[in-house]
Amino acid sequence: MPTIAIMGGTFDPVHTGHLVIAEEARARFGLDEVVFVPAAEPPHKPGADISPAEDRYAMVLLATASNPFFSVSRVELDRPGPSYSIDTIRQFRSSYAGASLYFLTGADAVLEILAWRDPEALIRECRFIAAARPGYDLSQLQRRLPEHFLAAIDTLVVPGVDISSSDIRRRVREGASITYLIPEPVEDYIRKRRLYEGSPALEKSGGPAAIRR
């Protein structure tokens, strides 16, 4: 039976840090596939000024195309309403009957799991991988989450790639270089589509480590 990780996020834009996290998780947990799931309507960002879903989806396709273990799902883009993680996990559970499912996200997001929709169901449906940079205080998880939640969470320390989607958007707006911070095809796409130019409101939108619900 396959072992699959779901990596959800806004991906506005996807960057090298996302890919490093996904690859580290794949190697560490013996994953058969990491599925990137761009959110259509992030419930933690109501009314947020984020890039069009199709642009974000296209950038993730470009970023992951060279890795045979990575794929991209439209499940949240094609489903109406807010992109709740429990709905996504249940759709994957239905589509991949018998598969071992992980949900891969940042440790900061996992800290807020009690505020997600139906958190008890979440930990019944899948395990979580909480990714953190070296030096991150993972003991916060033990201090803030109940024992039965901790039993469903694995931690993953990844190389310290200090990149954020908000910083990339700021760099584009200011005319600074983003080369090597994101895959080259994604940089080309951003330039071609003139994404993030003159859009300071986008600074309010975070990356996949932001709270999901």
The structure tokens listed for 150 are 């901790």
Asked whether residue 138 is assigned to any structural domain, the reply reads: yes
Asked whether residue 81 is assigned to any structural domain, the reply reads: yes
Chain centroid to CA 169: 17
Closest by CA to 73, choosing from 41, 117, 23, 34, is 34
Condensed to tens digits (0 to 9), the pLDDT of residues 5-47 reads: 999 999 999 999 999 999 999 999 999 999 999 998 776 555 5
Domain that holds residue 25: 3-161
Domain containing residue 23: CATH number: 3.40.50.620
- Looking at residue 205, its pLDDT comes to 38
Number of domains in the chain: 1
Asked whether residue 212 is assigned to any structural domain, the reply reads: no
Asked whether residue 194 is assigned to any structural domain, the reply reads: no
pTM equals 0.91
Condensed to tens digits (0 to 9), the pLDDT of residues 128-178 reads: 999 998 899 999 999 999 999 999 999 999 987 789 999 999 999 999 999
Angle, helices 53-64 vs 184-193, to 10°: value is 150
- Looking at residue 201, its pLDDT comes to 42
Structural contact between residues 88 and 37, judged by C-beta atoms closer than 8 angstroms = yes
* pLDDT over threshold 60, residue 76: yes
Asked whether residue 16 is assigned to any structural domain, the reply reads: yes
Centre a 10 Å sphere on the Cβ of residue 130 and count the other Cβ atoms it contains.
Answer: 25
Asked whether residue 190 is assigned to any structural domain, the reply reads: no
Q: Is residue 198 helix, strand or coil?
A: coil
Confidence band (pLDDT; 50, 70, 90) for 199? Answer: low
Average pLDDT, the chain: 91
Asked whether residue 184 is assigned to any structural domain, the reply reads: no
Confidence band (pLDDT; 50, 70, 90) for 202? Answer: very low
Helices (H), the chain: 16-29, 53-64, 85-95, 107-111, 119-125, 139-144, 147-150, 165-174, 184-193
- Looking at residue 49, its pLDDT comes to 80
Cα(114)–Cα(141) distance, rounded to whole angstroms? 12
Q: What is the DSSP letter of 122?
A: H
Asked whether residue 195 is assigned to any structural domain, the reply reads: no
